[in-house]
């Protein structure tokens, strides 16, 4: 171990890389690429957040004040697309780039040049998406699920969105192949599959899911493209096609996509909770098994998104039962995290606060998901704000809170500096307060019948919408605090020791100094 340590320190002399902008353009280093992924995703998070602020500003009171309905629809569509494909997914890939090699004792990712390409496709795709606001007809406006016939009828913005999704998909597939190959082939001697950290396990399974479903999305948008420009009628009933076919193929991608966005979050939380409980993860093998189980089940529940689209009762019942059963392995995970904390020597640093916040609010989002899985209820609440509330509890307080937790947890290793703990806690509590202020009331709005994707609404929805908008502005501003905390940490935070968290046990804490050297493990560590 000492030898490895010594090596790690001496790597500084071998950091031959170009300086300035060319370092970032040409880099094949997993840490550089991870950093770029994270900054890219945060930038897109701010862009998507700006769109969210626009939506909430318009909905602050009834009537049309700020955004014309056409532009409002473009805002909701691009908000969803940018947050899913531009913010959450690349952020997790950024974490994988930084952490997977360090956690398995590898020197880098398996396909370093492909890694560079995977990243640099993203700004191209993002440019296409964002620039679509400025083309004739504006951006795509048929919702982030781009259902036909709206997406067949839309203008140039829809084409830009289709190409953008193609490129993002290619990037994701390459990233996944890289992650799978790295994990299966480059683990340190002694690190068997069942000794891998949970974050690595969740990413391995997520990568397989991505390879499985991303080509389906690519096929779907290609069919949309040929319907638009080459006279096919895949989704056009007048030509013998079926718009419901689109919904099936889209959601065959779309539901596993939900798990693609949440499984790595499970992985991050499964690293943090044992560290700050100072206990090993309760039921490690159960966690691995539950993750695999969730991944498999996620592929057979897609049509619960389309109970009202026209489906025989047998189909509705099948997808209802399968969806409700997926709560079993998810429940196992929640019980395991709780059991990990049970009688642990817990401390509540910011990563732990965000992880506990994650568990608490993700469970709420999960429960409202089970409620939506029940066909008669779903028929009532579909396309209402109840669904908006449900998936924001899963994706914001689920995926995003886990990303914040992970960022606070690993920033000392990435930058070699500690963040400001007091400000971190402020960030957590403000996020927690404003998040619930924004989204909890949306359950009530949905139950009262307020439809989603509308710029104007009846007077009876006014109070809760105002509360929700105030919460959204607060939540948005709070995220600028996160940006400040991270920048001040990187620039002038206190020097971090090798292992600032005394309960941490994974290789990046036990074998590598802070900041982690440019090349982590040229000689692999031996795992006992």
Partner 1 sequence: MTNNNIEQKKKKIDIWKIAKAVMFAFMGIRKKSDLESDAESLTPVQVIIGGIIGAILFVLCVMLVVRLVVS
- Tell me which residues are annotated as active site: 79, 108, 144, 171-172, 255, 257, 259, 270, 304-305, 330, 333, 452
Stretch near partner 1 under the rule CB under 8 A, chosen from 14-22, 34-42, 289-297, 458-466: 289-297
Site membership for partner 1, residue 192 (CB under 8 A): yes
Of the residues 290, 311, 356, 496, which one makes contact with partner 1 according to CB under 8 A: 290
Rounded CA Rg of the chain: 23
Judge whether 97 and 34 are in contact, CB under 8 Å: yes
Stretch near partner 1 under the rule CB under 8 A, chosen from 151-159, 187-195, 341-349, 464-472: 187-195
Of the residues 1, 22, 25, 317, which one makes contact with partner 1 according to CB under 8 A: 317
Q: Structure tokens of 512? A: 């590598």
Which residues, in sequence order, are CB contacts of 194 under 8 Å at separation 6+? 284, 285, 288
Stretch near partner 1 under the rule CB under 8 A, chosen from 104-112, 326-334, 416-424, 482-490: 326-334
Which residues, in sequence order, are CB contacts of 512 under 8 Å at separation 6+? 8, 102, 413, 498, 520, 521
Size of the site for partner 1 (CB under 8 A): 27
Of the residues 22, 193, 237, 487, which one makes contact with partner 1 according to CB under 8 A: 193
The residue (of 121 and 290) whose beta carbon lies closer to partner 1 is 290
Minimum Å distance from CB 191 to partner 1? Answer: 13
- Dist. CA 128–CA 170, nearest whole Å: 15
Site membership for partner 1, residue 292 (CB under 8 A): yes
Of the residues 93, 332, 411, 432, which one makes contact with partner 1 according to CB under 8 A: 332
Minimum Å distance from CB 282 to partner 1? Answer: 11
- Widest CA span in the chain: 72
The residue (of 292 and 374) whose beta carbon lies closer to partner 1 is 292
- Closest alpha carbon to 105 in 431, 522, 515: 522
Of the residues 1, 64, 237, 328, which one makes contact with partner 1 according to CB under 8 A: 328
Of the residues 38, 165, 322, 364, which one makes contact with partner 1 according to CB under 8 A: 322
Of the residues 138, 329, 357, 424, which one makes contact with partner 1 according to CB under 8 A: 329
Of the residues 289, 360, 367, 484, which one makes contact with partner 1 according to CB under 8 A: 289
Stretch near partner 1 under the rule CB under 8 A, chosen from 11-19, 112-120, 158-166, 313-321: 313-321
Stretch near partner 1 under the rule CB under 8 A, chosen from 4-12, 240-248, 309-317, 379-387: 309-317
Site membership for partner 1, residue 238 (CB under 8 A): no
Site membership for partner 1, residue 190 (CB under 8 A): no
Minimum Å distance from CB 93 to partner 1? Answer: 24
Site membership for partner 1, residue 465 (CB under 8 A): no
Write the DSSP assignment of 120-139 as a string of letters: HHHHHHHHHHHHGGGSTT-B
Of the residues 24, 318, 426, 444, which one makes contact with partner 1 according to CB under 8 A: 318
Q: Which long-range contacts (CB under 8 A, 24 or more apart) does 6-11 make?
A: 7/522, 7/523, 8/511, 8/512, 8/513, 8/517, 8/520, 8/521, 9/513, 9/517, 11/517, 11/518, 11/519, 11/520, 11/522
DSSP state of 400: I
Look up tokens 């937790």; give the residue: 405
Write the DSSP assignment of 292-325 as a string of letters: HHHHHHGGG-GGGGGGGG---HHHHHHHHHHHHH
Minimum Å distance from CB 527 to partner 1? Answer: 15
- Closest alpha carbon to 164 in 146, 186, 180: 146
Stretch near partner 1 under the rule CB under 8 A, chosen from 265-273, 291-299, 461-469, 491-499: 291-299
Binding string, 248-287, against partner 1, x = CB under 8 A? -----------------------------------x-xxx
- Dist. CA 174–CA 165, nearest whole Å: 14
Helices 243-277 and 327-341 pack at an angle, to 10 degrees, of 10
- Dist. CA 67–CA 87, nearest whole Å: 24
Burial class (CB in 10 A: 0-12, 13-18, 19+), 346: middle
Minimum Å distance from CB 311 to partner 1? Answer: 12
Phi (first) and psi of residue 349, to 5 degrees: -70, 170
Minimum Å distance from CB 345 to partner 1? Answer: 22
The residue (of 339 and 467) whose beta carbon lies closer to partner 1 is 339
- Dist. CA 302–CA 213, nearest whole Å: 12
At residue 87, the 3 state secondary structure works out as: helix
Stretch near partner 1 under the rule CB under 8 A, chosen from 248-256, 323-331, 353-361, 449-457: 323-331
The residue (of 10 and 185) whose beta carbon lies closer to partner 1 is 185
Site membership for partner 1, residue 327 (CB under 8 A): no
Residues that bind partner 1 (CB under 8 A): 192-194, 283, 285-287, 289-290, 292-294, 296-297, 299-300, 313-314, 317-318, 321-322, 325, 328-329, 332-333
């Amino acid at each position: 171990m000492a030898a490895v340590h010594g090596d790690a320190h001496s790597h500084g002399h071998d950091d031959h890389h170009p300086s300035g902008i060319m370092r970032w353009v040409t880099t094949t280093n997993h840490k550089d690429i991870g950093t770029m992924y994270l900054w890219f995703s945060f930038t897109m998070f701010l862009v998507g957040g700006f769109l969210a602020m626009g939506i909430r500003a318009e909905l602050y009171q009834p009537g049309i004040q700020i955004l014309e309905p056409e532009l409002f629809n473009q805002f909701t569509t691009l908000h969803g697309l940018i947050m899913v494909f531009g913010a959450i997914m690349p952020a997790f890939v950024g974490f994988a780039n930084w952490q997977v090699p360090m956690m398995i004792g590898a020197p880098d990712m398996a396909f370093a040049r492909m890694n560079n390409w995977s990243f640099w496709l993203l700004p191209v795709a993002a440019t296409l998406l964002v620039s679509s606001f400025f083309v004739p007809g504006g951006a795509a406006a048929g919702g982030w699920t781009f259902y036909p016939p709206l997406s067949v009828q839309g203008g140039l913005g829809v084409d830009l969105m289709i190409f953008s999704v193609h490129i993002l998909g290619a990037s994701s597939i390459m990233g996944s192949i890289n992650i799978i190959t790295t994990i299966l082939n480059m683990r340190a001697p002694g690190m068997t599959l069942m000794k891998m950290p949970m974050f690595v396990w969740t990413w391995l399974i997520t990568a397989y899911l991505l390879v499985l479903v991303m080509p389906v999305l690519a096929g779907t948008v290609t069919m949309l493209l040929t319907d638009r420009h080459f006279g096919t009628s895949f989704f056009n009933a007048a030509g013998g096609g079926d718009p419901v076919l689109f919904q099936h193929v889209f959601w065959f991608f779309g539901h596993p996509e939900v798990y693609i966005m949440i499984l790595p979050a499970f992985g991050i939380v499964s690293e943090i909770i044992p560290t700050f409980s100072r206990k090993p993860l309760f039921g490690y093998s159960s966690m691995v098994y539950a993750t695999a189980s969730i991944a498999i089940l996620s592929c057979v529940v897609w049509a619960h998104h389309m109970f009202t689209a026209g489906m025989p009762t047998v189909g509705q019942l099948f997808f209802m039962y399968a969806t409700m059963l997926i709560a079993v392995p998810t429940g196992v995970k929640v019980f395991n995290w709780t059991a990990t904390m049970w009688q642990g020597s817990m401390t509540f640093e910011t990563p732990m606060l965000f992880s506990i916040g994650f568990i608490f609010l993700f469970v709420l989002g999960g429960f409202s998901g089970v409620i939506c899985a029940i066909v008669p209820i779903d028929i009532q609440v579909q396309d209402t704000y109840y669904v908006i509330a449900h998936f924001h509890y899963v994706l914001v307080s689920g995926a995003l809170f886990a990303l914040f937790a992970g960022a606070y947890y690993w920033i000392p290793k990435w930058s070699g500096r500690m963040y400001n703990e007091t400000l971190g806690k402020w960030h957590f509590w403000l996020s927690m307060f404003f998040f619930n202020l924004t989204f909890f009331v949306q359950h009530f709005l949905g139950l009262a019948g307020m439809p989603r994707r509308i710029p104007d609404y009846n007077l009876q929805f006014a109070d809760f919408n105002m509360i929700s908008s105030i919460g959204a502005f607060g939540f948005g501003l709070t995220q600028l605090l996160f940006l400040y905390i991270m920048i001040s940490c990187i620039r002038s935070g206190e020097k971090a020791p090798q292992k600032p968290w005394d309960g941490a046990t994974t290789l990046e804490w036990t074998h590598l100094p802070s900041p982690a050297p440019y090349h982590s493990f040229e000689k692999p560590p031996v795992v006992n």
